[in-house]
Chains A and B, each alone.
Chain A
């Protein structure tokens, strides 16, 4: 059984967010990049666990971006991917990205494609669902558990106000979130091994883009905190009622 895991690079949460080119581009200079936590902690680590349990024979990773992505994809290989594919394109459009991944997934004979539930930079939550529609495979979104038995997957997913257990035949696309697996740290052996694992660079297939980022801006700074004395907590309640009008 073969798994394809989608890996995206995102700025570290602590990164300073600024923009260039008349506020049309995220300023990447000096930014620390990480693997999108949902892709890493949940999708990739669950794939590794399934391989360790003997059910899965190979984990392939896919990312889209220029050569700047290579350190991130090597880190993912160090955690446990077997080989990686980088689509040599730069895009922020979910449909374009999903179309690229779908082209690879189609010819690669995968049984399972895993994504994170969203990226922490643009929070699109779109790649998994689009990919499933393009492949005409079932899509399980916001999954917290995944087990495989022969060609059947059992999944638990979050629904509004609760959770749902589903059974579905492979191949499927799953978007993963907290609960799927626990965070791991790559070890020295993994890091050394990752250097020699195959990283294939492929040119993109022709695909449309449906959206474009027109401009970015920053929220207005907060006015500053209004402190209330610990001796008069009831004053806070009065302020919330009369001034902020939220209770």
Chain B
């Protein structure tokens, strides 16, 4: 028995959301009294033994260059094979694009119940119950998994990364790699940006900013804070900003530590994608804007005057 955590990588480096999954999985393993093992697929330049600091005992690696480009279904079969080999009882993945592509298929192959988007460790005193957000963040559900083998995908930014002094054992895993049914024609990176779903700070702009030429108000602050940028739906719809920045009910749902909404009214469909943020700051010239009801901090005023001053103050703070 063990907890197996699948670690997602990009350009040879383990993703931040995977470190969160590693910490989550190793704490769950401790709770169950079993070892924590991980699987890393593809060529990774990080020192894998150092994954021990996240509580991992064993790192299984499949260093196949052909697997640097992910086909979810191939990964699914390889993970299923490892689960059977090491007799894992719980599989943990990040609830990111790849995790969402893999986990459902894995659930079918292994006849294992899946809860996607966990936000806390399961309770295991009476059954196996996982907490997740439902109804666009308006409620929590506690979902019981009734199969012997369990699969959990962890929402990014929902579990703290903690470190200890330890080393993991790294072991190559010789897997049968099934042929991929999907031919990858091309991949395109969204250059030089902080990943929106993993970002700890997100600066977001709405229609109140009047036009794309004013987005410096958002990006200047994002740059000094190392933050990702986001926007409301109409802003993406009228092409002021790229579509992948659209957050909300019909866009991406995010949960950063800090979400700064500038010139966004706070419609319920927008809130559905951002209300899990730990701290929400709203800058809006209308004191009646609904967003203030969901905010932790706010300034009623003109973003065009306020934002440069905020950016200056942050610069000063960073230079201290």
What residues of chain A have their CB less than 8 Å away from a CB belonging to chain B?
11, 13-14, 17, 19, 26, 37-38, 41, 94-95, 98, 117, 120-130, 132-134, 138-142, 144, 154, 158-169, 178-179, 208-219, 222-223, 225-230, 233-234, 236-241, 244, 246-247
The answer on a CB contact under 8 Å between A212 and B250 is no
The answer on a CB contact under 8 Å between B104 and A133 is yes
Give, as a whole number of angstroms, the nearest-CB distance from A82 to chain B.
Answer: 26
Chain A residues in 8 Å Cβ range of B306: 230, 233
Give, as a whole number of angstroms, the nearest-CB distance from A225 to chain B.
Answer: 4
A17 to B268, CA, bound (A): 13
The DSSP consensus for interface residues of chain B is: mixed
What residues of chain B have their CB less than 8 Å away from a CB belonging to chain A?
8, 10, 15, 69-70, 72-73, 76, 95-98, 100-105, 107-109, 111-117, 127, 129, 132-147, 181-190, 193, 195, 197, 200-201, 225, 243-244, 246, 249-251, 253, 257-258, 268-269, 272, 278-279, 281-282, 292-302, 305-306, 309-310, 312-314, 316-317
- 8 nearest CB pairs, A to B: A129-B104, A230-B301, A210-B113, A133-B108, A234-B313, A133-B105, A237-B313, A246-B258
The answer on a CB contact under 8 Å between A211 and B104 is no
The answer on a CB contact under 8 Å between B187 and A162 is yes
Chain B residues in 8 Å Cβ range of A234: 309-310, 312-313, 316
A246 CB contact (under 8 Å) in B105, B272, B279: B279
The answer on a CB contact under 8 Å between A122 and B134 is yes
The answer on a CB contact under 8 Å between A11 and B135 is yes
Chain B residues in 8 Å Cβ range of A132: 73, 104-105
Give, as a whole number of angstroms, the nearest-CB distance from B48 to chain A.
Answer: 20
The answer on a CB contact under 8 Å between B70 and A17 is no
The answer on a CB contact under 8 Å between A17 and B138 is yes
Chain B residues in 8 Å Cβ range of A160: 8, 10, 15, 96-98, 195, 197
Known: A158-B244, A160-B96, A246-B201. A125 touches B298 (CB 8 A): no
Known: A166-B182, A234-B309. A129 touches B139 (CB 8 A): no
The answer on a CB contact under 8 Å between A216 and B140 is yes
The answer on a CB contact under 8 Å between A95 and B107 is yes
* A-B residue pairs in contact (CB < 8 Å), sample of 21: A13-B249, A13-B269, A17-B135, A117-B100, A129-B100, A133-B104, A134-B108, A139-B72, A140-B182, A142-B97, A162-B189, A166-B185, A168-B181, A210-B107, A213-B143, A225-B297, A227-B300, A228-B298, A234-B313, A244-B279, A246-B258
Could you list 11 further interchain pairs (A-B, Cβ under 8 angstroms) beyond the known A169-B181, A211-B144, A216-B139?
Answer: A13-B249, A38-B250, A94-B107, A123-B134, A134-B108, A154-B185, A216-B140, A226-B296, A228-B299, A230-B300, A237-B313
A214 CB contact (under 8 Å) in B142, B269, B305: B142
A158 to B300, CA, bound (A): 36
The answer on a CB contact under 8 Å between B299 and A229 is yes
A239 to B72, CA, bound (A): 43
The answer on a CB contact under 8 Å between B310 and A211 is no
Give, as a whole number of angstroms, the nearest-CB distance from A105 to chain B.
Answer: 14
The answer on a CB contact under 8 Å between A222 and B250 is no
A17 to B138, CA, bound (A): 7
A154 to B182, CA, bound (A): 10
Chain A residue with Cβ nearest B140: A217
The answer on a CB contact under 8 Å between B109 and A215 is no
The answer on a CB contact under 8 Å between B105 and A130 is yes
Chain A residue with Cβ nearest B276: A219
The answer on a CB contact under 8 Å between A133 and B76 is yes
Give, as a whole number of angstroms, the nearest-CB distance from A179 to chain B.
Answer: 6
Give, as a whole number of angstroms, the nearest-CB distance from A40 to chain B.
Answer: 11
B297 CB contact (under 8 Å) in A14, A95, A165, A226: A226
Give, as a whole number of angstroms, the nearest-CB distance from B297 to chain A.
Answer: 5
A166 to B139, CA, bound (A): 36
Chain A residue with Cβ nearest B94: A160
Chain A residues in 8 Å Cβ range of B314: 237, 247
The answer on a CB contact under 8 Å between B113 and A121 is no
The answer on a CB contact under 8 Å between A163 and B188 is yes
Known: A133-B108, A210-B145. A159 touches B250 (CB 8 A): no
A13 to B134, CA, bound (A): 11
Chain A residues in 8 Å Cβ range of B117: 123, 125
Known: A240-B258, A246-B278. A13 touches B136 (CB 8 A): yes
A218 to B137, CA, bound (A): 9
The answer on a CB contact under 8 Å between A179 and B139 is no
Known: A127-B104, A160-B98, A162-B190. A13 touches B272 (CB 8 A): yes
Chain B residue with Cβ nearest A139: B73
B282 CB contact (under 8 Å) in A120, A159, A225, A233: A225
The answer on a CB contact under 8 Å between A227 and B144 is no
